[in-house]
């Protein structure tokens, strides 16, 4: 099977890039796989990509940042999408050309705006899978309306949690579209698991407000006061770095809390710790939680929507505490710091329970969904019937008057295809 992923920027850093690389590499064991990166801003990706997976950029910002078409706003990529300002007429054109000529059996979109491109512009014979790496409720109403119209032309939508899959089924009217949770996978560790003896708590991720590293540092102050030989190591980079540095100084934790910068891969850093920590207000999945558990660390996390509660079994392989509760977070960390045997026991359980996120189980589910998407297209739904079906659905929902962008995109695609004949 030929499989293409459509990714925002494979050369950056982030959870969607990590999980896309992980799944692509697992699929490459048995399939022909490529990643199409809409944007490129550097020579090589930050993360190592399996050489069996081809990487194809569409717009190279090093040479094309000032391209006349890149200075004009996008018309197909939805305006309400978070990344809209990074898209343009040039990205519209390149994505449209890529999809019009793609020889893949199935294409996997990896964010809402790219899923809209996929829904509107993929050839009729290509299986269409739209991945959701955030959550439906996280999207503004205007974007949800756009997705409701366009997603009817997808074959499968995958979310990273069961809770979000349920939200899609409950709140979106998508007849004939399969909605299923497909969790992110983490490669099998290559290093021995942590032995729970190191006096180190580890956290990792982008240094942005939603991750609440300020809360984690403040909560850790209680640990440092009682156990001054323990450390908190935070890996990542981002806009909050300087503010967090000041907070560490204000709390007098310069000998205990360390902003370590970005590390890739993180496995070598997880195994140096004994406890993982996450303090987010919102976490669509919780990739770093799984990474820590796969290295044998119990994780103390806020019980934020949606991911941590589906990953951590509270009191068994980690702890869940209320969002924003500094005292509860500090107390949960202290529980594990004080009790060596409990920490070791929960670490062993974390290692065992996190195996469900290994590439094998996730790959098996992904291959089944890919096969279903291809089967739908192989069975055949003539293009004219598909367009009529989409129009009927739009009218029935009262969207006809607001469908100018949808029609324009379809017309633009016809022009592109006609020009390629």
Q: Determine how many CB atoms are found less than 10 A away from the CB of residue 284.
A: 23
Where in the chain is CATH 3.40.50.2000?
2-185+361-420, 200-357
**Confidence at residue 313, expressed as pLDDT on a 0 to 100 scale:** 97
d(CA 363, CA 184) in angstroms, rounded, equals 10
Of the CA atoms within 13 Å of residue 73, those in its CB half-sphere come to: 7
d(CA 113, CA 123) in angstroms, rounded, equals 18
CB-CB contact of 340 with 295 (8 Å): no
Which has the closest alpha carbon to 307: 329, 326, 288? 288
CB-CB contact of 320 with 288 (8 Å): no
Beta bridge partners of 11: none
CB-CB contact of 223 with 194 (8 Å): no
Give just the sign of the alpha carbon dihedral 142, 145, 150, 154: positive
d(CA 270, CA 262) in angstroms, rounded, equals 13
**Three-class SS of residue 398?**
coil
CB-CB contact of 41 with 62 (8 Å): yes
What are the phi and psi torsion angles at 335 (to 5°)?
Answer: -55, -45
What does the pLDDT average to over 17-41? 95
Question: What's the DSSP call for residue 45?
Answer: -
**Confidence at residue 14, expressed as pLDDT on a 0 to 100 scale:** 81
- Residues near 12 by beta carbon (within 8 Å), at least 6 away in sequence: 41, 46
d(CA 160, CA 183) in angstroms, rounded, equals 4
**Confidence at residue 123, expressed as pLDDT on a 0 to 100 scale:** 94
**Confidence at residue 270, expressed as pLDDT on a 0 to 100 scale:** 98
**Confidence at residue 264, expressed as pLDDT on a 0 to 100 scale:** 79
Residue 201 has pLDDT above 70, yes or no: yes
What percent of the chain stands above pLDDT 70?
Answer: 90
Q: Where are the beta strands (DSSP E) in 124-183?
A: 127-132, 156-159, 178-181
The architecture in CATH of the region 200-357 reads 3-Layer(aba) Sandwich (3.40)
CB-CB contact of 99 with 123 (8 Å): yes
* DSSP string for 199-252: -EEEEES---GGG-HHHHHHHHHHHHHH-TT-EEEEE--STTHHHHHHHHHHTT
* Two tokens, residue 48: 């190592």
**Confidence at residue 13, expressed as pLDDT on a 0 to 100 scale:** 82
Helix (H) or strand (E) holding 20: helix 15-27
d(CA 137, CA 397) in angstroms, rounded, equals 20
What does the pLDDT average to over 309-333? 97
Residue 398 has pLDDT above 80, yes or no: no
d(CA 59, CA 172) in angstroms, rounded, equals 33
* Two tokens, residue 360: 């094998």
**Three-class SS of residue 158?**
strand
**Confidence at residue 383, expressed as pLDDT on a 0 to 100 scale:** 42
**Confidence at residue 378, expressed as pLDDT on a 0 to 100 scale:** 85
Which has the closest alpha carbon to 154: 129, 188, 125? 129
What does the pLDDT average to over 82-98? 97
Which has the closest alpha carbon to 8: 106, 74, 63? 74
Lowest mean pLDDT of 21-35, 92-106, 210-224, 366-380, name the range: 366-380
Mean pLDDT of the chain: 90
What does the pLDDT average to over 272-288? 95
Which has the closest alpha carbon to 227: 274, 184, 182? 274
**Three-class SS of residue 265?**
coil
Which has the closest alpha carbon to 272: 338, 348, 205, 200? 200
pLDDT tens digits for range 55-87:
999 999 999 999 999 999 999 999 999 999 999
What does the pLDDT average to over 139-151? 96
Residue 418 has pLDDT above 90, yes or no: no
Residues in the chain: 421
Question: For the domain 2-185+361-420, what is the CATH code?
Answer: 3.40.50.2000
The better pLDDT of the pair 284, 130 is held by: 130
d(CA 235, CA 135) in angstroms, rounded, equals 25
**Confidence at residue 380, expressed as pLDDT on a 0 to 100 scale:** 66
Beta bridge partners of 55: 35
For tokens 């896309």, the residue is 20
Residue 129 has pLDDT above 50, yes or no: yes
- 392 pLDDT band, cuts 50/70/90, is very low
CB-CB contact of 302 with 281 (8 Å): yes
Residue 352 has pLDDT above 70, yes or no: yes
CB-CB contact of 278 with 301 (8 Å): yes
What does the pLDDT average to over 108-118? 98
**Confidence at residue 416, expressed as pLDDT on a 0 to 100 scale:** 37
- Residues near 412 by beta carbon (within 8 Å), at least 6 away in sequence: 75, 76, 92, 96
> Within 251-296, where are the H helices?
267-270, 287-294
Cα-to-chain-centroid distance, residue 46: 16
What does the pLDDT average to over 222-240? 97
């Amino acid at each position: 099977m030929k499989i293409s992923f459509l990714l925002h920027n494979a050369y950056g850093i982030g959870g969607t890039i990590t999980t896309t690389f992980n799944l692509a590499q697992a699929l490459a064991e048995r399939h022909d796989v490529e990643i199409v990166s809409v944007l490129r801003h550097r020579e090589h990706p930050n993360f190592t990509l399996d050489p069996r997976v081809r990487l194809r950029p569409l717009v190279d910002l090093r040479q094309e940042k000032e391209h006349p078409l890149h200075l004009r706003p996008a018309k197909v990529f939805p305006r309400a999408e978070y990344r809209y300002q990074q898209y343009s007429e040039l990205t519209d054109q390149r994505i449209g050309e890529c999809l019009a000529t793609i020889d893949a059996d199935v294409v996997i979109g990896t964010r809402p705006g790219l899923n809209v491109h996929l829904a509107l512009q993929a050839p009729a014979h290509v299986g269409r899978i739209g991945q959701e790496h955030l959550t439906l409720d996280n999207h503004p109403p205007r974007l949800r309306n756009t997705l409701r119209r366009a997603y009817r032309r997808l074959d499968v939508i995958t979310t990273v949690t069961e809770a979000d899959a349920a939200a899609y089924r409950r709140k979106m009217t998508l007849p004939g579209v399969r909605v299923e949770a497909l969790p992110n996978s983490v490669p099998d560790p290559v290093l021995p698991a942590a032995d729970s003896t190191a006096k180190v708590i580890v956290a990792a991720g982008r240094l942005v407000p939603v991750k609440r590293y300020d809360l984690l540092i403040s909560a850790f102050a209680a640990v440092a006061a009682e156990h001054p030989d323990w450390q908190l190591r935070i890996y990542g980079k981002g806009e909050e770095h300087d503010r967090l540095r000041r907070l560490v100084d204000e709390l007098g934790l310069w000998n205990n809390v360390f902003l370590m910068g970005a590390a890739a891969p993180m496995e070598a850093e997880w195994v140096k710790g004994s406890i993982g920590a996450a303090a987010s207000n919102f976490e669509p999945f919780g990739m770093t939680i799984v990474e820590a558990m796969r290295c044998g660390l119990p994780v103390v996390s806020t019980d934020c929507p949606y991911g941590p509660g589906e990953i951590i079994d509270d009191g068994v392989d980690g702890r869940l505490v209320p969002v924003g509760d500094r005292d509860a977070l500090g107390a949960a960390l202290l529980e594990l710091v004080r009790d060596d045997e409990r920490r070791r026991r929960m670490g062993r359980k974390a290692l065992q329970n996190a195996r469900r996120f290994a590439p094998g189980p996730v790959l098996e589910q992904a291959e089944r969904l890919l096969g279903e998407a291809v089967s739908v297209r192989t069975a055949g739904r003539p293009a004219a019937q598909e367009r009529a079906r989409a129009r009927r659905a739009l009218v029935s929902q009262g969207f006809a008057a607001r469908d100018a962008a949808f029609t324009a995109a379809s017309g633009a695609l016809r022009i592109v295809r006609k020009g390629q004949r």
